[in-house]
Amino acid sequence: MKKWLYLIADFSYGEAKIEAVLKAGADYIQLREKDISSAEYLLRAKRLREMTDKYRTRLIINDRLDIALLSGADGVHLGQEDVPVKDARKLLGAQGIIGATAKTPEQAKQAMEDGADYLGSGAWFFTETKKDAVPISEETYRRILQSAPIPNVAVGGINAENCRKPLSLGASGLAISAGILKAEDPGAETVKIRQLLEQAEAAVL
């Protein structure tokens, strides 16, 4: 089964860096914007939709179901305090992709039962993106995978140097932000991580 490279981005990194990653082979990109107006969020989502169409990357919008629908995104990623997964499913229909944050086995099981297509679990390592994120233990992650047998991407401070650990435990992919976008050459960093994902795929065969 193919391991996902799931980029989490905002426009503060600049379109050129984001496009370099799309061109190098991201499977998904989540737009996660903070402290901007809804109007500006929608503009950026529509711009990113144009970019992802060019590279056939799936576009996910963080938190905002309304922005996901209005921008024509492929889906939405929902946290524990966002619109419930089962309510989002009513609006997105069967084709829309719904991801959910799950930090415990109970959250994971509930999200799966409510109709989530994939889960994001972490934080694996310290991350500047979410400084208040609570680290996840290997044992908790194993239990999350057991309780909800749907794709699970590891998230939180992941980069090319430390990504082998969640992959070795069974992660379906890696959700990465600064670990790629803050690199000197984001495209080259993407290629490097893609190779690590392919190695992990081969190890499962």
Where do the domains of the chain lie, and which CATH numbers do they carry?
4-204 (3.20.20.70)
Q: Is the pLDDT of residue 97 over 90?
A: yes
Check pLDDT > 80 for residue 132: no
Residue 203 confidence class, pLDDT cut points 50, 70, 90: confident
pLDDT tens-digit readout, 158-186: 999 999 999 999 999 999 999 999 999 99
pLDDT at 135: 87
Exposed/middle/buried for residue 174 (C-beta within 10 Å: 0-12, 13-18, 19+): buried
pTM of the full structure: 0.95
User: Per-residue pLDDT for 129 more than 70?
Assistant: no
Q: Answer whether residue 126 shows pLDDT above 90.
A: no
Residue 130: pLDDT over 70: no
Selected residue with higher pLDDT from 203 and 87? 87
Give yes or no for a contact between 73 and 67, defined as CB atoms under 8 angstroms apart. yes
Percent with pLDDT over 70 in the chain: 97
Instruction: Give the whole-angstrom CA distance, residue 13 versus residue 15.
Output: 7
pLDDT value, residue 134: 77
- Report pLDDT for 204: 75
Report d(CA 44, CA 204) in Å as an integer: 38
